[in-house]
Amino acid sequence: MSEMRRQIRDHVRTNPGVHFNELVRNLDIATGQAQYHLHRLARRDDVVAERIRGRTHYFDTEYDAWERRVVSLYRRETARELVTELLENGDLSASTLAERLDIARSTVSWHVDTLEDADIVERSYGDRGQVEVGLTRPEETLELLRTVTPSLADRLVDRFMRLVDTGLHDDGGTTE
């Protein structure tokens, strides 16, 4: 195996779910060079490519299809915030998610559709007919995100710390 191919394989192993453009930037290699080596690695079953919503993500072969979908979608900011909110608070209504994430209800709906197609979340209807969103496998999701890489777990911690800092430093809109 060439040194470049080994570098790419090792980068995929240490950064599960890395998408193509990120891999090219991180390794500072030409697009064609990355394509060539990724194709060779995939043919030898050293990496797995997962195409989700227009982006191809790369994984070591140890990840199953569900794990690849979770990690791939968790790398996307809004999906990550939505999943993190559900991990921290359990099932929530779609309108509560929109409010807490400060995004449009239609944006929540689009991301929930994507996460539902990937079997990461499920919808149900609450007592008053409200759409409720919950993780299909919350314990497995949390464990996967804890063990995937420190950077994904750090993002979860960073989000929580931002929420705490905002709560502690919110002075009701006054400035000093």
Q: Which tens digits make up the pLDDT trace of 8-52?
A: 999 999 999 998 988 999 999 999 999 999 999 999 999 999 998
Structure-model confidence comparison of residues 153 and 14, the more confident one: 14
- Tell me the C-alpha distance between 108 and 98, whole Å: 6
CATH number of 70-169: 1.10.10.10
Q: Domain boundaries in the chain? A: 3-63, 70-169
With 70 as the cut, is the pLDDT of residue 158 above it?
A: no
- Which of 2, 63, 78, 68 lies closest to 36, judged by CA? 2
Gyration radius of the chain's alpha carbons: 19
pLDDT value for 170:
55
Q: How confident is the model at residue 173 (pLDDT cuts 50, 70, 90)?
A: very low
pLDDT value for 145:
86
> Which residue(s) pair with 121 in the sheet?
135
pLDDT value for 165:
58
Same CATH topology for 3-63 and 70-169? yes
Give the pTM: 0.76
DSSP state of 127: T
With 80 as the cut, is the pLDDT of residue 164 above it?
A: no
- Tell me the C-alpha distance between 3 and 157, whole Å: 35
pLDDT value for 176:
41
CATH number of 3-63: 1.10.10.10
* Least confident interval from 53-62, 103-112, 120-129, 153-162: 153-162
- Tell me the C-alpha distance between 9 and 13, whole Å: 6
C-alpha to C-alpha distances, 82 to 9, 41, 105, 145, 172, nearest whole angstrom:
30, 33, 12, 14, 26
- Tell me the C-alpha distance between 12 and 47, whole Å: 8
Contacts 24+ apart (CB under 8 A), 43-49: 46/9, 47/8, 47/9, 47/12
